[in-house]
Structures are given as C-alpha cells and as structure tokens.
Amino acid sequence: MVVRHVQYTVKPGKMDEYWRLQEEYAGRFTSREGFGSLKVFVDPKNPNSVFSFAEFDNEQAADSLQESELMKEWGTVLKPLVERWDLYKQYTSCESKSLRPLNE
C-alpha cells in the first residue's frame, strides 16, 4: 500500500471554492484503478490548512494518477486557490491491517 500525504494552505476567502472543487474531483480520483481511498481534513487551529491522504494499492497506481491528465487538470484549478504548499510525502507499507476503533 502507498499513501500520499499532501498539506497546503488555501488562500483566505477561497475555502468555499476549494471544497466545491474537491467534491467535484474526489469521485474522479477514487474511481481510478488502484485508488483505495481519499481523506481530506482541515486543521482546527487553521481552517485554511488542508491535509489530504490518498491511499493506493501500489506505487504504480499512485504514479499513474500523478502523471495523468486528470492530475494536471486538478493542479490547474487548484493552483489559484493555494497560498503555499506545506508538505508532500509518500509512505509505503508492505503490510497494513485495520485496527478496532478505541470506542469499541
């Protein structure tokens, strides 16, 4: 499994437009072969700071999305909304297992 973690800061006043676009593109991303899940969070102390976690079956699936026309399109619509890119990381795991939630 491969997880790509991206963190960026959205320009003030642009969050509504960001969420509209995120919702529009999320289904297009997650329908790709080898794409596991997409989670997007906001820092409660800085509501313009976005954390995105995309899970893939393997590195080839992650690279395929990164090099796709869809990702180029996403970058084009996202660029005017982003104040700065804070982090871009990839984590690779040879094994993963689901944990039981703490409240169970």
Task: Write the pLDDT tens digit of every residue in 61-91.
Answer: 999 999 999 999 999 999 999 999 999 888 8
User: How do residues 27-62 score in pLDDT, each as one tens digit?
Assistant: 999 999 999 999 999 999 999 999 999 999 999 999
* Alpha carbon distance, N-terminus to C-terminus of the chain: 26
Give the pLDDT band (50/70/90) at residue 101. confident
Whether residue 96 has pLDDT greater than 70: no
- Is 0.75 surpassed by the pTM of this model? yes
What is the third-level CATH fold of 2-92? Alpha-Beta Plaits (3.30.70)
3-class secondary structure, 59: helix
Give the pLDDT band (50/70/90) at residue 24. very high
Give the pLDDT band (50/70/90) at residue 102. confident
Percent of the chain whose predicted confidence (pLDDT) is above 70: 95
DSSP bridge pairs for 88: 6
Chain centroid to Cα 73, Å, comes to 14
For the chain, the structural domain boundaries read 2-92
